[in-house]
Amino acid sequence: MAASSNAPYTQFNYAPDAEPDIDVAVIDLDASHLWDASPVAVLDAVTEKYRRHGREVELIGFNSASIQMRERPAGRLNAGE
């Protein structure tokens, strides 16, 4: 995600009837870097919305810095810094 924005949240088709044979949505972030908490929050929102519609989400392709950003506990993104 190149920008800190919630715009990607609206770009996914969450409805289970749109693709009834798909149980898992795979989001490939191979060429992405999570710079701050904003894209983390967007990914959390996207994941939660898919789950509310009965689908699981697999996020793949994180670089090591993005993994660390994503794994920080919610509400503590700047803790200890």
**Residue pLDDT, tens place only, 5-30:** 556 666 666 666 666 777 888 989 89
Beta bridge partners of 27: 59
3-state secondary structure of 74: coil
pTM comes to 0.68
> What is the pLDDT, as a whole number, of residue 16?
62
Q: Which two tokens stand for residue 67?
A: 């993994």
Give the whole-number percent of the chain exceeding pLDDT 90.
9
Q: Is 5 left (phi over 0), alpha (psi -120 to 50) or beta?
A: beta
> What is the pLDDT, as a whole number, of residue 5?
57
What sign does the CA torsion over 33, 58, 17, 51 have?
A: negative
Task: Answer for the pair 57, 25: CB distance below 8 angstroms, yes or no.
Answer: yes
What is the Cα–Cα distance from 9 to 27, expressed in whole angstroms?
Answer: 12
pLDDT at 66 over 90: no
Residue with tokens 């959390």: 44
